[in-house]
């Protein structure tokens, strides 16, 4: 249950802020939550290097464990109580956290609570906020724009320049998992010098980029059925499931429809209005050349049929994807 604190060098840059006795880390994104916890512990370590960290989680928790942990040590020193996964806690752990919130303010104990979301433990969250706890957010990163922003921030934090195309390519290659995306950013920062561009990403992650549904969709939306089918077969050969490929095809068509319907204007303004990144607006505008609204509508219907087929409606899901790609290419050429 005990753990040692990271060294002061792990603390985030910038002037120190007064650290309250209560900290709430809220949100489902594990990478962000882990970083928020590490930074908080590093702040404590900087002023209290001998602080003792006690960790508690719902699994195996016994009533009173937290209260016992909060009691002063015979040897003195600050105690840090870290409660993980409060959203999964039983009533006994929730009750103990509620008991500790007001009491620890008069002691040397500090309380850090992690909550992934939902209504479970709402009273604890309300009490923490009412106690003046520091609130740290770890929001989910679901969209490509979220992940592009995250990767771009990773490079800026490391004082490295990365082109928009490189960031996009990296997200397409490894963006499904935020932890893997963070590791890929760190690898490029550590292993390369100068500007990180698309060629650098291609060197490290080219095979993954080529195997994604994004590359298949790009070729299909450009009317290049031969390249789209080649990329599809390569993706399937390395284990990519047909379902997400069809999902990317549908997403690409819907994005073109949204951008095409939005009219003219600056990319940054449209991106804000549509919830996209500016580069996505620019890319959609380029791809819209050769498409009509009617052709996009027919293509979306074809992809919807393929989606039903790959989810159990057909004995040959691969053929269903191939057929959709051929429809897209024909609509692009003749629409």
Provide DSSP, 194-213: S-B-HHHHHHHHHHHHHTSH
Cα 321 to chain centroid, rounded: 28
Task: Write down the residue that tokens 């070729």 correspond to.
Answer: 219
Residues with Cβ within 8 Å of residue 209, at least 6 apart in sequence:
169, 172, 173, 201, 202, 215
Tokens of 222: 């450009």
Contacts by residues 11-14 (CB-CB < 8 Å, ≥ 24 positions apart): 11/39, 11/42, 11/43, 11/45, 11/46, 12/39, 12/42
- pTM of this structure: 0.63
Q: Which of 81, 116, 117 is nearest to 97 (CA)?
A: 81
Query: Quick one: pLDDT at residue 106?
Result: 46
Question: One digit per residue, pLDDT tens: the chain, 335 residues?
Answer: 444 344 333 344 444 556 778 999 999 999 999 999 999 999 998 888 888 899 999 998 999 999 988 887 766 678 899 999 999 999 999 999 998 887 544 456 899 999 999 999 999 999 999 988 999 999 999 887 889 899 999 999 999 999 988 898 888 888 778 998 999 999 999 999 999 988 888 888 866 766 677 888 888 998 888 989 988 888 888 777 888 888 889 988 998 999 988 888 888 888 888 887 787 888 888 888 889 999 999 999 999 999 999 888 878 889 999 999 999 988 986 65
Cα 196 to chain centroid, rounded: 21
Instruction: Say how far apart CA 61 and CA 67 lie, in whole Å.
Output: 12
Instruction: Say how far apart CA 152 and CA 175 lie, in whole Å.
Output: 12
Domains and CATH numbers, the chain: 2-137 (3.40.50.300), 141-206 (1.10.8), 211-335 (1.20.272.10)
């Amino acid at each position: 249950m005990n753990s040692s604190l990271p060294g002061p060098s792990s603390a985030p840059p910038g002037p120190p802020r007064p650290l309250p006795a209560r900290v709430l880390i809220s949100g489902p994104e594990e990478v962000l939550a882990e970083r928020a916890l590490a930074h908080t512990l590093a702040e404590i370590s900087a002023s209290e290097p001998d602080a003792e960290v006690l960790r508690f989680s719902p699994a195996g928790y016994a009533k009173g464990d937290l209260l016992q942990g909060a009691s002063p040590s015979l040897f003195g020193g600050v105690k840090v109580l870290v409660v993980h996964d409060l959203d999964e806690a039983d009533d006994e752990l929730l009750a103990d956290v509620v008991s500790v919130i007001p009491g620890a303010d008069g002691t040397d104990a500090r309380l850090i609570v992690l909550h992934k979301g939902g209504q479970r433990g709402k009273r604890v969250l309300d009490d923490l906020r009412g106690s003046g706890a520091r609130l740290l957010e770890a929001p989910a990163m679901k969209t490509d724009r979220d992940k592009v922003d995250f990767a771009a921030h990773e490079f800026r934090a490391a004082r490295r320049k990365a082109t928009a195309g490189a960031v996009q390519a990296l997200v397409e290659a490894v963006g499904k998992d935020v932890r893997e995306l963070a590791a890929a950013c760190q690898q490029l920062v550590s292993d390369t010098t100068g500007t990180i561009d698309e060629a650098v990403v291609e060197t490290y992650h080219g095979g993954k980029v080529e195997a994604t549904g994004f590359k298949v969709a790009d070729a299909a939306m450009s009317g290049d059925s031969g390249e789209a089918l080649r990329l599809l077969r390569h993706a399937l050969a390395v284990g990519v499931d047909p379902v997400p490929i069809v999902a990317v095809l549908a997403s690409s068509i819907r994005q073109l429809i949204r951008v095409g319907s939005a009219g003219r204007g600056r990319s940054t303004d449209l991106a804000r209005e549509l919830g996209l990144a500016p580069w996505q607006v620019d890319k959609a505008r380029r791809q819209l050349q050769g498409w009509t609204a009617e052709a996009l509508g027919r293509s979306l219907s074809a992809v919807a049929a393929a989606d039903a087929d790959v989810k159990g409606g057909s004995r040959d899901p691969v053929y269903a994807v191939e057929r959709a790609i051929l429809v897209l290419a024909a609509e692009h050429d003749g629409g």
